[in-house]
Amino acid sequence: MNDWINLSALWQIVVVGLLAGAGLPALFAVGLRALSLPGAGGAAGTTRAGADDDDRVVGGSPLGLAVAVLCFAVVLAAVGWGIYLIVAAT
C-alpha cells in the first residue's frame, strides 16, 4: 500500500461511480424499453384495423409494465437515497 494512494478506497469509488453513473441511466433505459413491449394486440407503434382511437400510453404488455415499474422504483429509490445522504451530511 502506498502512502499517497489508498487502493481500497479508490476501487470503492470506481464501483460506486460506475453503478450510479452508468448503471442508473441504463436501468432507466431498460424501464423505458419495457414500456414499449408489445402486448397481445401486435407490435408497439403499429395500428390495427379499427384501432385508430386507441389512447393507451404504454404498449400493452402487463409484464413490460411490471418490469418498467420495478426499474423506475429502483432508480427513484437510488435518487432519494442520494438526496438523503447529501442532506444528512449537513
Mean pLDDT of the chain: 83
The crossing angle, in degrees rounded to 10, of helices 62-88 and 24-35 is 150
In this predicted structure, what is the pLDDT of residue 47?
Answer: 52
In this predicted structure, what is the pLDDT of residue 89?
Answer: 83
Angle at 87 between CA 86 and CA 90, to 5 degrees: 95
Global pTM reads 0.69
Confidence of residue 61 (pLDDT cuts 50, 70, 90): confident
Report the pLDDT averaged over residues 62-79.
Answer: 94
Report the pLDDT averaged over residues 47-70.
Answer: 72
In this predicted structure, what is the pLDDT of residue 3?
Answer: 79
Q: Enumerate the H helices of the chain as residue ranges.
A: 7-18, 24-35, 62-88
Q: In the chain, what are the domain boundaries?
A: 18-38+59-90
